[in-house]
Structure 1
């Protein structure tokens, strides 16, 4: 086989899994054998260039070269071919994609790229200084972006289309130390002796600090409130304990090969992982969300190519199918819902079909897509309805949306790409409504004018957070953030017990706070346990509307709804998780449907006689560990 001195022929990891390599006499890698016995094989021509690569499962990639070693063609497992053309200097001058679209390249005499002409003829130009640094780019609409550098080649100034400027400064080691945005806001960065970011000073004066161990591995982040997020590592640098800003620890355990075996959250819930010989997850074991001391098992299976073909748990089974190129062509959810897809030569999805079996009836829909030479979508058609047709400018921005035979929308854009205006027009009628948008130098929306909705205005702080909103009715709403940028300010309430583990499991720890008259409570892992709102019950309809407005803030279906000084509905009308009666199933379905359906269920369920003001609590179900 020839000499292979100095080349690794096999690697056995601590778990006993072996990866092996075979070479030819010239040192070219012929075969890589994976721990499960599957192999990746490569064939070479007489000049030792790869001409065929066979992946596990048999998918093949092909390559064709010229005598100078330049790649002329590449074919994927589906047979789609991309081709490349070069000039006498070996510079790429044309690329032709699988659908025949061609992109061309021009060069300056010194070899720098001078222009790129896309398949639609749109030209982008580039200009350089004597050192070869890009100093100007002119896009297909003629908009210019300019760049300036210091003597070390670091970018110091950029002038974007529209005149917006950013400025950068660097320390003696070449690290970015100062950045000034177009509004003049300055961000400063400090570094450790080994070049790690140690401190960041934001434009609003707040700071974030980063701490490292003697190996320069991150072990802590101190936020703007001077709270520490700590990371503990083992001798191999792996994170074994992660303690959040509120002192709650998540622990990790690893296998001999470095794979994560389990993680335990602050509530003591452990998630376990099982792997196959290639290191892919085949099983995930999590605490059951409804049964104490029970596990819920998520299972995963893969085909011979390594693609995920099955994901299932006790609640659901999802299967996946792929084409020769590894693109997903079918997703089957249980026995009643299927998504199928077709693709063109370039790998763009051209058709998506869905099929749902519900109540003995079959509901099927087809969505079709067409693309231009740049692979940007130009039309979307649902079933046999008239397609939505999209026209684009030279930058690929949508300039016309034909929504039907008589209805269209016409957007326009700022030089920075932000939406500047939008008109909706009806043939024979003219403009139905229009919107205009104004931005500050940082590209943040400061005003929105709607021909029907009125005018909205926004104000931002130096780090880009909205601090004031003036709605069309003239009502001003202000937002006050803490130093870390949170609107909701929370504190920890804890009942001390002798057994800390039992206390965690018993839920004696809670992080709580109020914002805009609404009470929020979180458990140790950050899951919201309760959302409560004070309801004005003097008007029967209003009390339900106010509760409904907050329901969308719960993640998933609440376990129960409680009214202070009134009944708790768990096990009765609004036991939303138990589904112990037909009425419960109605609530669950109503939650899925939302809107008026849920409104009617709540209206019937809430007590008819309540005090004029009552506190309604939405109690979250117990969550399975992540």
Structure 2
């Protein structure tokens, strides 16, 4: 059965601006603040349990400053074909751009360590080449109409070619050594076979003309594996080539709640009202439990024998200490 309550809820300002996002437990997970003088201009954004990031704009409506109270802040300076980004440690990156309107692309990056990278694009703004800081150039050939990558040439001159059908589905890859891998599809566009570079083929069979997921796969040795799916695309049962079957159960939110293997071996999973895993229990009743903070960071794991390991985080969700068996390890980070 489907959930009676909404999975996600949104609230808006009177001007129609997104104000907050709530999860299925009705817990606020994101919040937004806007400039009263400029409708639609976001000046603050916060995730649950995290500090608020603030934004300042110039008269043209461009972000000129991003303020992070518990981390690096950034300043943006705009010129004709250049954007300079300076962080709160005075490290600078320069982005050089070409093109206009929706086709403006970054063609050169000057990084804070002095290195420089380049990118090339076609007339439609699609990536055609990249040159790294060491001067090594990789080129991408594109289909003019579809934009599909037709070949990649690496800095050493080795070329890999890609082929597609009329539905833009990948049908073959030819490696620089001449070896080829292939894919075949049926009329509805479902994958029916894959042949590796070594010539081994895996075949896929479907229950009917409307099935999107395969019912069986047969490898090059003739070994067959069977899959049963729910109408929501969840794997309900998997039978390997020896006949060993594993079954799966799910809750109404689509989260896996049980795994049943042969010989009575089962695992049961429980979640809190926010969808976070809080317990894994086996058929003998041995249980591992999990705890979280308001931001969703995993803070504790309690094993079946009662041993507890804990993790502490900074404001941005980076682990700063772990405690297990009375021993605490601390972590520090650079910027």
**TM-score, length basis structure 2:** 0.90
Tell whether 2:100 aligns with 1:128.
no
Contact 1:98/1:345, CA 8 A, preserved across alignment: no
Matches within 5 A, 1:420-435: none
Tell whether 2:51 aligns with 1:89.
no
User: Cα–Cα, structure 1 residues 54 and 197, in superposed 2: closer, same or farther, change >3 Å?
Assistant: closer
Contact 1:36/1:278, CA 8 A, preserved across alignment: no
Q: 2:22 aligns with which of 44, 48, 54?
A: 54
User: Cα–Cα, structure 1 residues 246 and 319, in superposed 2: closer, same or farther, change >3 Å?
Assistant: same
Q: 1:101 aligns with which of 36, 47, 72?
A: 72
CA distance in 1, matches of 2:82, 2:322: 39
User: Cα–Cα, structure 1 residues 186 and 123, in superposed 2: closer, same or farther, change >3 Å?
Assistant: same
The alpha-carbon deviation at position 168 of structure 1 amounts to 2.4
Q: Does 1 or 2 have the higher relative contact order (CA < 8 Å, sep 6+)?
A: 2
Query: Residue in 1 aligned with 2:311?
Result: 341
Query: Residue in 1 aligned with 2:142?
Result: 170
CA distance in 2, matches of 1:189, 1:262: 35
CA distance in 2, matches of 1:56, 1:183: 52
User: Cα–Cα, structure 1 residues 136 and 276, in superposed 2: closer, same or farther, change >3 Å?
Assistant: same
Matches within 5 A, 1:427-446: none
Structure 1 ranges of 4+ moved more than 4 A? none
Contact 1:147/1:159, CA 8 A, preserved across alignment: yes
Deviations 1:312-334 (A, max 9, x none): 21474211001111111101111
User: Cα–Cα, structure 1 residues 172 and 272, in superposed 2: closer, same or farther, change >3 Å?
Assistant: same
Say which SS state the counterpart of residue 156 (structure 1) adopts: strand
Query: Residue in 2 aligned with 1:229?
Result: 202
Deviations 1:233-255 (A, max 9, x none): 24231121112232211111123
CA distance in 2, matches of 1:256, 1:166: 43
Tell whether 2:13 aligns with 1:45.
yes
CA distance in 1, matches of 2:40, 2:26: 26
Say which SS state the counterpart of residue 370 (structure 1) adopts: coil
Query: Residue in 2 aligned with 1:352?
Result: 322
Looking at CA atoms only, which structure, 1 or 2, has the larger radius of gyration?
1
Q: 2:295 aligns with which of 312, 325, 339?
A: 325
Tell whether 2:124 aligns with 1:184.
no
The alpha-carbon deviation at position 84 of structure 1 amounts to 1.5
Say which SS state the counterpart of residue 252 (structure 2) adopts: coil
Matches within 5 A, 1:149-548: 149-173=121-145, 174-234=147-207, 235-287=210-262, 294-314=263-283, 316-355=286-325, 364-372=326-334, 374=335
CA distance in 2, matches of 1:79, 1:207: 49
**TM-score, length basis structure 1:** 0.49
CA distance in 1, matches of 2:181, 2:18: 49
CA distance in 2, matches of 1:311, 1:64: 39
Unaligned runs of 5+ in 2: none
User: Cα–Cα, structure 1 residues 140 and 221, in superposed 2: closer, same or farther, change >3 Å?
Assistant: same
Say which SS state the counterpart of residue 311 (structure 1) adopts: strand
CA distance in 2, matches of 1:146, 1:163: 9
- Number of equivalent positions: 325
Contact 2:70/2:315, CA 8 A, preserved across alignment: yes
Query: Residue in 1 aligned with 2:44?
Result: 73
Deviations 1:174-221 (A, max 9, x none): 322121111111111111122111111101110001111112222211
User: Cα–Cα, structure 1 residues 37 and 123, in superposed 2: closer, same or farther, change >3 Å?
Assistant: same
Contact 2:227/2:238, CA 8 A, preserved across alignment: yes
User: Cα–Cα, structure 1 residues 149 and 46, in superposed 2: closer, same or farther, change >3 Å?
Assistant: closer
Structure with more helix by fraction: 1
The alpha-carbon deviation at position 106 of structure 1 amounts to 2.1
CA distance in 2, matches of 1:336, 1:136: 55
The alpha-carbon deviation at position 104 of structure 1 amounts to 1.8
The alpha-carbon deviation at position 148 of structure 1 amounts to 2.8
CA distance in 1, matches of 2:62, 2:309: 44
